[in-house]
Amino acid sequence: MSIVKFSNVEKSFGPHKIFNGINLEIMPREVVVVIGPSGSGKSTLLRCINALESIEGGDIRVDGFSVKGGRNDIRNIRLEAGMVFQQFNLFPQMTALENVMFGPMRVRKATRREARELALALLEKVGLSERANHYPAELSGGQQQRVAIARALAIRPKLMLFDEPTSALDPELRQEVLKVMQTLAEEGMTMVIVTHEIEFARKAGTRLLFMEGGKIVHDGKPNELLLSPPSERLRDFLQHVV
Ligand code: ADP
Ligand code: MG
């Protein structure tokens, strides 16, 4: 029933062991917010889910497909897990519309017309109908990130992964991105979100993970962990991010 399942996952970079047996199960419709100090393994955790990083031990299954299952499984995992990065990563030579049309045409074998219809609907969903024909350089950071979200949604993922989606944005542009994410959460999208936006974690998250040193140190309800942090480390961390 789980959509993501880590079983005893081990991950190293060269001689450095990052994960020494991570276990984690995420159910459909969960909105999992991941917090923790820099270098604690948050990005690596996300990148392992869609096989952007390989693992040496254990297994990760996404909707039943294994990151160790070979090309076909990995292809399926990437179709099921949309990813949004801190640095938007839009194709600069393509308009907003073309960026969003790219995935469906390339990997879902949609016709140009189908892809265009879907892309227009998704740009409307993220509030950017008016900007469909603009190039990334003509858009604000918040607008670019909303295009990136629409682009990830266009492959019709079952799961969305966000790695610090608002960290590169000026504070006044963050809310427009968080609002789109909040709407997705309300619609029941399963999401794993690395962020320092504690208020968002409280409002939109159904589950909060606190990572440190490659371990999931706390795993619980956002309200409970944030209102009464069970460790000195979490209390200390929260004082520094808010
Ligand atoms: P976070 O996202 O929490 O800041 P990361 O997952 O990026 O942490 O990094 C976890 C650890 O793995 C850090 O010690 C980092 O230096 C190391 N690391 C991450 N990516 C690489 C890489 N490509 N090569 C070597 N070490 C890496
Ligand atoms: Mg990171």
What are the CA-CA distances from residue 183 to residues 125, 152, 202, 220 (Å)? Answer: 9, 15, 15, 22
Ligand 1 geometric centre to CA of 125 (Å) = 34
Alpha-carbon gap, residue 108 to 28, rounded angstroms: 22
DSSP run (H or E) holding 50: none
Ligand 1 geometric centre to CA of 203 (Å) = 28
Looking at the chain, the whole-number percentage of residues with pLDDT higher than 70 is 100
User: What is the pLDDT, as a whole number, of residue 231?
Assistant: 97
Atom of ligand 1 nearest to the CA of 53: 23
Model confidence, pTM: 0.96
Place of tokens 């100090």: 37
Alpha-carbon gap, residue 107 to 54, rounded angstroms: 22
Ligand index nearest the alpha carbon of residue 36: 1
SS (H, E, C) 122-150: HHHHCCCHHHCCCCHHHCCHHHHHHHHHH
List strand residue ranges (DSSP E) for 63-109, in order: 65-66, 81-84
Task: Name which residue sits closest to atom 24 of ligand 1, judged by CA.
Answer: 13
pLDDT band at 109 (very low <50, low <70, confident <90, very high): confident
Q: Which two tokens stand for residue 197?
A: 């936006």
**Ligand 1 site, CB within 6 A:** 13, 18, 36, 38-44
Per domain, the residue ranges of the chain are 4-241
User: What is the pLDDT, as a whole number, of residue 131?
Assistant: 97
Alpha-carbon gap, residue 32 to 195, rounded angstroms: 10
For the chain, the average pLDDT equals: 96
Among 180, 84, 95, 100, which Cα is nearest to 136's? 95
122-143 per-position pLDDT tens digit: 999 999 999 999 999 999 999 9
Q: Is the pLDDT of residue 108 over 90?
A: no
pLDDT band at 242 (very low <50, low <70, confident <90, very high): low
Ligand index nearest the alpha carbon of residue 164: 2
Alpha-carbon gap, residue 147 to 127, rounded angstroms: 9
Q: What is the ipTM of this complex?
A: 0.98
Alpha-carbon gap, residue 102 to 151, rounded angstroms: 8
Most informative mutation of 18, 34, 162 for ligand 1 (most atoms within 8 A of CB): 18
pLDDT band at 219 (very low <50, low <70, confident <90, very high): very high
Q: Is the pLDDT of residue 98 over 70?
A: yes
Q: Is the pLDDT of residue 39 over 80?
A: yes
Task: Name which residue sits closest to atom 17 of ligand 1, judged by CA.
Answer: 39
User: What is the pLDDT, as a whole number, of residue 27?
Assistant: 98
pLDDT band at 107 (very low <50, low <70, confident <90, very high): confident
User: Rounded mean pLDDT of 193-204?
Assistant: 96
Please tell me the class of the 4-241 domain: alpha beta
Looking at the chain, the whole-number percentage of residues with pLDDT higher than 90 is 96
CB 185 within 8 A of CB 31: yes
User: Rounded mean pLDDT of 89-94?
Assistant: 96
